[in-house]
Amino acid sequence: MKATNFLVDSKEKFRIKDCPTTPDDKLSKEEGEKRTAGNIEEMINLQDVFYASQKYSLLLIFQALDAAGKDGTIKHVMSGLNPQGTEVHSFKQPSTEEISHDYLWRAHEKLPERGMIGIFNRSYYEDVLVVRVHNLLNNILYPDVIHNDDIWQKRFRQINDFEKYLHENGTIILKFFLNISKEEQARRFIKRIDDKSKNWKFSEGDIKEREHWDDYQKAFQETLAVTSTKTSPWYVIPADKKWYARLAVSEIIVNKLKELKLTYPQVSKEQLLKLQAYKKMLEDK
Ligand code: ATP
Ligand code: MG
């Protein structure tokens, strides 16, 4: 498995229907799980340096259709990390307060501080996905400038500008689209109905959204193509096999953290001498 295979790197050639939803290599589940465990182990050390160096923040964005495994992937991949250095934010239907601001407002204040890893479970991308598919802008009183034909193109540009701004200010961004097939989604919904402990996860809304499958694919297709950039790339993760999605996501995060070549802050000579003096004081007591 090569993580770069999942990168959306060509605006013109990208076709969501050509992206696999299942693994296309010979890796076994056991091998895959072993590799994921290794990645998680590595991530723990990398996060420690990331936090100590206080140089960058890392923003991980997860988008997907229902039951693609966002929650599980986030939970699993982040399982070993120091909770003090991570935060997860879920973006649901906006509140009255949120909707009375511009659409990036609620995301902006949830961005990770330097040294932190921030995870967005859904994000401002909902504003070019669900909002587009369901024409939700029509329900909102907006100034006239917002209601015109190229609203989505405008939003794509705004998102690209916003992410560029974040990058230029030290935020590293990785975006994951968990790509599930329509058949696998049906299987997972049925499981939620059959398994009593999973009944709570099933919502009528999920079935309604499924009817818009093709519209969502279309919206994702354009969104991913236009907003995947060098500094803020999208990865389309085959998500029909949960173990494989976890492996791919963990691999991409680890690679990125390694690429940064971060080191623990250097302590000055004077500071080192002071430390030795403190040690002596402590030992003398
Ligand atoms: P799960 O179902 O696994 O608990 P979820 O992310 O699907 O997780 P829900 O509470 O089921 O959470 O759904 C949140 C809903 O809010 C989604 O349908 C999403 O599309 C919607 N949503 C998020 N952002 C916006 C937005 N800006 N405008 C309108 N709807 C939004
Ligand atoms: Mg849901």
Give the pLDDT score at 218.
Answer: 97
Report how far ligand 1's centroid is from the alpha carbon of 237 (Å). 20
Give the pLDDT score at 145.
Answer: 65
Give the pLDDT score at 147.
Answer: 67
Residues lower than pLDDT 50 in the chain? none
The pTM of this model reads 0.95
What does residue 222 show for φ and ψ, rounded to 5 degrees?
-70, -40
| Mutation pick for ligand 1 pocket among 73, 126, 208, 220 (CB with most ligand atoms within 8 Å) | 126
Look at the block and give the residue holding tokens 């160096």. 53
What does residue 125 show for φ and ψ, rounded to 5 degrees?
-65, -20
Residue whose Cα lies nearest atom 3 of ligand 1: it is: 71
The domain ranges of the chain are 3-284
**Looking at the DSSP assignment, which residues form a beta bridge with residue 59?**
118, 173
Q: Does domain 3-284 have CATH number 1.20.1260.10?
A: no
Give the pLDDT score at 80.
Answer: 80
Give the pLDDT score at 120.
Answer: 98
Report how far ligand 2's centroid is from the alpha carbon of 65 (Å). 8
The C-alpha angle with vertex 19 and arms to 23 and 63, in degrees rounded to 5, equals 95
Cα distance between residue 54 and residue 48, in whole Å: 10
Q: Which pLDDT tens digit goes with each residue over 203-228?
A: 899 999 999 999 999 999 999 999 99
Cα distance between residue 179 and residue 65, in whole Å: 8
Residues having CB closer than 6 A to ligand 1 are: 66, 71, 90-94, 122, 126-127, 130-131, 136, 203
